[in-house]
Amino acid sequence: MSFSFELLKTDKDSAARVGRISTPHGTVDTPVFLPVGTQGTVKGLTSKDLKDIGAEMILCNTYHLYLRPGHELISELGGLHGFTGWDGPILTDSGGYQVYSLGKLRKIKENGVYFQSHLDGTKHLLTPERAIEIQEALGADIIMCLDECTPYPATMEYTMKSMELTHRWARICKDSKKSNKNALFGIVQGGMFVDLRRKSAQEIVKIGFDGYAIGGLSVGEGKELMYEMLEATIPYLPQDNPRYLMGVGTPEDIMNGVYMGIDIFDCVLPTRNARNGTLFTSSGKLVIKNSQFTRDGRPIDERCSCFTCQNYSRAYIRHLYMTGEMLAARLNTIHNLHYYVDIMSKMRMAILEDRFNEFKEGFYKDKTAAI
C-alpha cells in the first residue's frame, strides 16, 4: 500500500475535517494525535499497550536514533517497525528541532547543521541529504524535510533568512529522496510574521510534497500569537493533503487546531505530564500527589474507559507516585494517552455528524467542573 490521503468530511460550521491516511503499515483516521516515542519507545509502554489505547501512528526521533543505536543498525534489524515491535504507521521528524534545542552546541551553515552530541561531545554534520538518508534507513512511513526552527523572539531579517534556508533545504530533501516507501512532508516556517508565514506556505506548496507541516510554533510565543500564525498559514495549504502541526499538544490547542483545519498533532505533554503526576481528565487536570486523593477510592476519571481507570483508584496511584514506584508512571501514561486518543475519536465523530462547534463548547464547559 502506498501513501495517500482522502478527505472524507468537512464540518459545516468550521474548517474541522475528517480524513484517512493510507500507508504501507496501515491506515490512520484524522484528526489524529501521535504518541511520541523519542528513542523508539513511548516511555513505559509496550506496542500492545499502544494498540489497546487505540494509538494509530507514533512518532520517533531521528536525532536520538541516529546517535544511539544508529540508523544502520536499525536498518539491519528490520527498520523501526522490526526493531521496535510496532507494526503500525510511524512518522519520524528530521532531527532539526532537537539540533535547534542544543543552543551553543550547534552551528547552522548553508550546507547543514554542525553539532556536538549531547551524549559524548562528538562532532556531527546533519545536512538535508543526510536527514533523508537516515530517515529512509529507519523505514518510517512519513519522513520530514530538514528545516531550521526559527527561535522566538527573532527579528524579521533573521526570520526571513532562516525561512529561505528552510526552503532551500526542502528542495534538496525532495531531490535526495530515493525510496518510494516513505511519504515526505515539507515544513512551513516564517516565525511570528504573517507575511512570512504566508510566503513560506506558498513556497513549500510550490515545491510539492505528500503533506505539509507547520513548524516553529509553541516555542515561547503566547497562545493568541500562535493561533494568529495558524490563521495566516492554513488557507495556503492544499485541501487534498494532510496538515501537521508539529509539537503542539495541550488538549485546548488541539481542539482549536482541529477547528482551524489541522489533521495531525504530536507532543510529549501527555507522557511527560504522566511521569510528573499530572493527569488529564474530562473535568480538567488532576495532580495526583495532592493530599486530597490520599483516601479517594474513585478512578482518575469516572468517565474514562482506560485500563488504569477500570482497575485502580486515585488513592492507589497516589501511593505509587509518592513512593516512587515505576508503575505509577506506566499507569499514568496509559491514562493520559487514552484521554488524548479518545478525545480525537470523539472529535472525528462530531465532525462527521456536523456538530463540532457543539462538541467544542461542551469540552470547555466540562473543564469548569470539580475534580
Neighbours of 364 (CB within 10 A): 10
Q: So what's the pLDDT on residue 371?
A: 55
Helix axes 156-176, 194-207, angle to 10 degrees: 10
pLDDT tens digit string along 146-184? Answer: 999 999 999 999 999 999 999 999 999 999 999 999 999
What residues does 114 pair with on adjacent strands? 107, 125
pLDDT tens digit string along 256-267? Answer: 999 999 999 999
Between 130 and 367, residue with greater pLDDT: 130
Among 189, 263, 268, 275, smallest CA distance to 233 is for 189
pLDDT mean over 75-88 = 98
Q: So what's the pLDDT on residue 369?
A: 57
What residues does 10 pair with on adjacent strands? 17
Q: Is 170 in contact with 207 (CB distance < 8 Å)? A: yes
Q: Is the peptide bond before 69 cis (omega within 30 degrees of 0)?
A: yes
pLDDT mean over 235-242 = 98
Q: So what's the pLDDT on residue 363?
A: 95
**Catalytic entry in 49, 93, 147, 263:** 93
Q: So what's the pLDDT on residue 176?
A: 98
Judged against a pLDDT cut of 90, whether residue 101 lies above it is answered with no
Give domain limits for the chain. 4-267, 274-366
| 195 carries an active-site annotation | no
What is the model's pTM?
0.97
pLDDT tens digit string along 40-57? Answer: 999 999 999 999 999 999
pLDDT tens digit string along 8-27? Answer: 999 999 999 999 999 999 99
Q: So what's the pLDDT on residue 368?
A: 61
Distance CA 10, CA 13 (A): 9
Judged against a pLDDT cut of 60, whether residue 370 lies above it is answered with no
4-267: CATH architecture: Alpha-Beta Barrel (3.20)
Distance CA 39, CA 37 (A): 6
| 93 carries an active-site annotation | yes
Judged against a pLDDT cut of 80, whether residue 100 lies above it is answered with no
Q: DSSP letter string over 230-285? A: HHHHGGGS-TTS-EEETT---HHHHHHHHHHT--EEE-SHHHHHHHTTEEEETTEE
Stretch among 3-7, 92-96, 283-287, 341-345 having the lowest mean pLDDT: 92-96
pLDDT tens digit string along 272-290? Answer: 999 999 999 999 999 999 9
Q: Is 166 in contact with 132 (CB distance < 8 Å)? A: no
**Catalytic entry in 49, 147, 253, 266:** 266
Task: Give the angle 159-160-162 at the CA atoms, nearest 5°.
Answer: 65
